[in-house]
Amino acid sequence: GENVEQHPSTLSVQEGDSAVIKCTYSDSASNYFPWYKQELGKRPQLIIDIRSNVGEKKDQRIAVTLNKTAKHFSLHITETQPEDSAVYFCAAIFTGGGNKLTFGTGTQLKVEL
């Protein structure tokens, strides 16, 4: 089955700096890669996603890049703000195999003033 590795497990940045979280996946058939943000005590929220036919996608201060050959994808947050502090999870899906999400282990991002 699919295996998703995520690094780093914790990340601390100064407000205004950029943050990058990286994930690798094992199943070359995976074709959809969402990112979720989970604040303490809240549900995971979908913040951005990318399909395998696209190399990069941006939405304001967040972007995701995908390297299919290397089987890794990354989340980039620019101009970080305190409200970006949360746990971020990457995930991978093979949409031809039941659309089951396999999650990474999560990254605790702390944005310091």
Partner 1 sequence: SAVISQKPSRDICQRGTSLTIQCQVDSQVTMMFWYRQQPGQSLTLIATANQGSEATYESGFVIDKFPISRPNLTFSTLTVSNMSPEDSSIYLCSVGGAAGQGYEQYFGPGTRLTVT
Residues that bind partner 1 (CB under 8 A): 1, 32, 34, 36, 42-46, 49, 51, 89, 93, 95, 98-106
d(Cα 54, Cα 67) in Å, to the nearest integer?
A: 9
User: Toward partner 1, which CB reaches closer, 61 or 100?
Assistant: 100
CB 91, min distance to partner 1, A: 8
Taking residue 22's Cβ as centre, other Cβ atoms within 10 Å add up to 17
CB 67, min distance to partner 1, A: 20
**Amino acid type, 109:** L
User: Toward partner 1, which CB reaches closer, 46 or 55?
Assistant: 46
Provide the sign of the torsion angle of the four alpha carbons 87, 107, 102, 74, taken in this order. Answer: positive
CB 79, min distance to partner 1, A: 25
Taking residue 110's Cβ as centre, other Cβ atoms within 10 Å add up to 14
Q: Taking phi first (over 0 means left), then psi (-120 to 50 degrees means alpha), and beta for anything else, what does residue 106 get?
A: left
User: Toward partner 1, which CB reaches closer, 18 or 28?
Assistant: 28
User: Toward partner 1, which CB reaches closer, 45 or 81?
Assistant: 45
CB 75, min distance to partner 1, A: 15
